[in-house]
Structure formats: C-alpha cells, structure tokens
C-alpha cells in the first residue's frame, strides 16, 4: 500500500504543486490520479519514487517512509512508465525491455529471455525484438514501455499518462491490455491521466485533484459518477455523467422478448423481426419489405455487458432494439425500446 500523509510540495519559485495530499493507494489495485493540467499529478507520482522529494508530510510504502529508503533501492521495486514510452533510441527493443534486469546484474541470456517473455505478455510480436524504437508505431512503443517497467517484476507500477500520445483505438486496446495484465499480476498501480473516461475505465479508485494540488474527491468510479462531491468534480465529470453512469448498471434484469426472432424472412404483425441462423446467431433485422434487405443490429452480452452497451446496441439499429446474446454469441432475446426505457427509469431512481 502507498500512503500519502499530508504531503505538500512547494517548488523553489514558490509554486505549491501539491497541497496537503492525503490518500491511500491499496495493494493490488489501480488508483488513478485525474485532474486538469497543472494540478500536481506528475509531481505526486514522482514523489513516490523520490524523483522529487516532498516539502512536508510523508509518503509511506507498506508503512515505511520512502524518505528513509535510498532512491536506487526504492526504484528497484517500482516500475515507471511515461508518455511517449521514453525508450532508449539506440538500444534494440529487447535490450530496452531488459534495462532493469541488466542493471540488477542478471546475465545477458536470462535478461533477454525475460524480455522476450514480457514482449509476448504485453501483446507484441517477438519478431519486433531486434528493431529499434523508431521502427515501431506509437502504440507498440507504449507496450514496450509497459514491458520494460514490468521487467524486474516490481510490486509497484507508476504510470504517467502512458497512453495519451496514441490514437483513440490504439488507446482503447492498450487500456484493455493493461486491465488484462493487471488481472494476472495484481500490481499496486498509480495511474495518472487527465482523461476522466480513462480514469473511470481503469481505476478501482479515482482521486480527482484540482489545481493547487488539492484532493477534490477520492472514490470508486461508480460513486464518483453518482455522488460527485462538489461543483468542480461535477463539472470535471462532464454533462454526459448520466450516460457514463450506465456503465455500472447491469443488464441482468432487463426484460427481453423472445418472440421477435425468426429463422425465416416472413412477414409478421410486428414491425421488425430478427433473422437468426440455425444455431441462433443474429443475421439482421427484417422489416417485412424486401426479403433481401436486412437492417443492421447491435448486440450486448446479457448480464456481462452494461446498460450503456445495451443502449449503444439499440442505437446501432433502425429497429431501436438491442439484441441480447450469451457468451457464445447466441441470441437469447431482444430488448425493445420500451424495456430499455423501463430499465433506464429504474436506474435513475436507484
């Protein structure tokens, strides 16, 4: 566990970057620091591994003040990932990843084997190992940055806007990859971003900071969205807070109709029917006009995906209905507009 105990950082020019910050980043969880530019996120992060020393208060690592641990020893247990990956341009990918193992005196063969294993772990083709950083895409470089931080298997990972320099699609896949890795590795992660969506997606807990380095709210994402502490947090969460909140509403109890699916394109009394294959996979919506014309559909996995996904699925289709499928992609029913409205009304009351 990482503990900030009334930590203040004043720079020599008098700027207070962090002001009496108190918070805990629990072991094995992702704690996200989020807030506008200049609110002290990077400063807070760097005080953990002593790249910056606190002016007042203290930071404890599993109860031990970091001020009493010499920086090289401290950093051996802390991986650090930054924006643009920060790779060494003249070292091959494999040697970039093996940086810390080399520093720890591992022999070259063992260090490289570890690096190859990690490249695979973060979803990179091992064939890239012999390349130089400039020969990789931005997203690939970020993955290398993550692999490098994990190389010595540190219990703590500090990540400062690691995914902010890549396009939205690559960013999403890097986020998914991080969550997948974390499910295996259970690191204590402090993740900095200014993107509230990223914070909500990744954080077990989210700390919202305001300029001047003061903590505005510390909460799990669901609580943050449903009970913002003040106007600053509400504003920071944005106007689509209501929609975001639906990410945390289950589709489990959603009322489904099973009488709207059909194997054949035959006219019925209903304005729409969902054509499915012999093994119940969706093909398209049929409006009873020309049999060769099917309209697009959207699916969500019942019980696993959120109400937000169900709503997205409904909006993808002119039928206005969302197709509920099971984990194997087989249709289990259809959520009509009315059923979705009903569920949304219930969620708003909750």
Ligand X SMILES: Nc1ncnc2c1ncn2[C@@H]1O[C@H](COP(=O)(O)OP(=O)(O)OP(=O)(O)O)[C@@H](O)[C@H]1O
Least distance to ligand X from the beta carbon of 211, Å? 7
Indicate which single residue of 4, 23, 32, 42 sits in contact with ligand X (rule: CB under 6 A). 42
Q: Strands across the sheet with 331-335, in order?
A: 299-301, 322-325, 331-335
Q: Which stretch binds ligand X (CB under 6 A): 13-21, 91-99, 105-113, 270-278?
A: 13-21
Residue 21 in contact with ligand X, rule: CB under 6 A: no
Residue 53 in contact with ligand X, rule: CB under 6 A: no
Residue 43 in contact with Mg ion, rule: CB under 5 A: no
Q: Total residues at the site for ligand X (CB under 6 A)?
A: 12
58 phi, psi to nearest 5 deg: -145, 155
For helices 138-150 and 108-121, give the axis angle rounded to 10 degrees: 130
Indicate which single residue of 3, 31, 42, 140 sits in contact with Mg ion (rule: CB under 5 A). 42
Residue 251 interaction partner, one of ligand X, Mg ion, none, beta carbon < 5-8 Å per kind: none
Indicate which single residue of 3, 31, 43, 217 sits in contact with ligand X (rule: CB under 6 A). 43
Contact 247, 306 (CB under 8 A): yes
Strands 156-160 and 188-193: parallel
Cα–Cα dist 132/349, whole Å: 55
Tell me, residue by residue from 176 to 195, as one string, x for binding to ligand X by CB under 6 A and - for no binding: ------------------x-
Residue 41 in contact with ligand X, rule: CB under 6 A: yes
Cα–Cα dist 297/187, whole Å: 39
Indicate which single residue of 17, 61, 81, 144 sits in contact with ligand X (rule: CB under 6 A). 17
Cα–Cα dist 143/177, whole Å: 9
Least distance to Mg ion from the beta carbon of 84, Å? 12
Contact 241, 234 (CB under 8 A): yes
Cα–Cα dist 226/66, whole Å: 35
Q: Give the residues lining the site for ligand X (CB under 6 A).
A: 11, 13, 15, 17, 37-43, 194
Q: Give the residues lining the site for Mg ion (CB under 5 A).
A: 42
């Amino acid at each position: 566990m990482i503990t900030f105990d009334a930590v203040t950082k004043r720079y020599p020019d008098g700027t207070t970057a962090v002001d009496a910050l108190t918070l805990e980043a629990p072991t094995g969880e992702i704690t996200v620091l989020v807030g506008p530019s200049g609110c002290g996120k990077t400063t807070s992060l760097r005080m953990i591994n002593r790249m910056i020393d606190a002016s007042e208060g203290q930071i404890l690592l599993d109860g031990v003040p970091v001020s009493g641990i010499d920086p090289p020893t401290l950093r051996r247990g802390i991986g650090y990932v930054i924006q643009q990956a920060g790779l060494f341009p003249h070292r091959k990918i494999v040697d970039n990843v093996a940086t810390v193992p080399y520093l720890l005196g591992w022999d070259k063969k063992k260090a490289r084997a570890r690096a190859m294993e990690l490249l695979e772990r973060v979803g990179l083709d091992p064939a890239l190992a012999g390349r130089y950083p400039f020969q990789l895409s931005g997203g690939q470089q970020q993955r290398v940055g993550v692999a490098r931080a994990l190389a010595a298997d540190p219990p703590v990972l500090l990540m400062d806007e690691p995914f902010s320099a890549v396009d939205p699609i690559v960013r999403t896949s890097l986020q998914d990859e991080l969550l997948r890795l974390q499910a295996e590795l259970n690191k204590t992660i402090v993740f900095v971003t200014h993107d509230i969506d990223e914070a909500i997606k990744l954080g077990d807990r989210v700390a919202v900071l305001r300029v001047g380095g003061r903590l505005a709210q510390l909460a799990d994402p669901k609580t943050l969205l449903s009970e913002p502490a003040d106007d600053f947090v509400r504003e920071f969460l944005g106007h689509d807070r209501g929609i975001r909140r639906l990410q945390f509403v289950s589709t489990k109890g959603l009322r489904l109709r099973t009488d709207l699916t059909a194997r054949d394109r035959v006219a019925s009394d209903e304005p729409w029917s969902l054509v499915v294959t012999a093994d119940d996979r969706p093909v398209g919506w049929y409006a009873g006009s020309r049999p060769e014309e099917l309209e697009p559909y959207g699916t969500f996995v019942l019980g696993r995906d959120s109400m937000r996904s169900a709503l997205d699925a409904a909006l993808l289709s002119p039928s206005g209905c969302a197709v509920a499928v099971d984990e194997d992609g087989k249709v289990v029913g259809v959520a009509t507009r009315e059923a979705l409205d009903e569920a949304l009304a219930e969620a708003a009351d909750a």
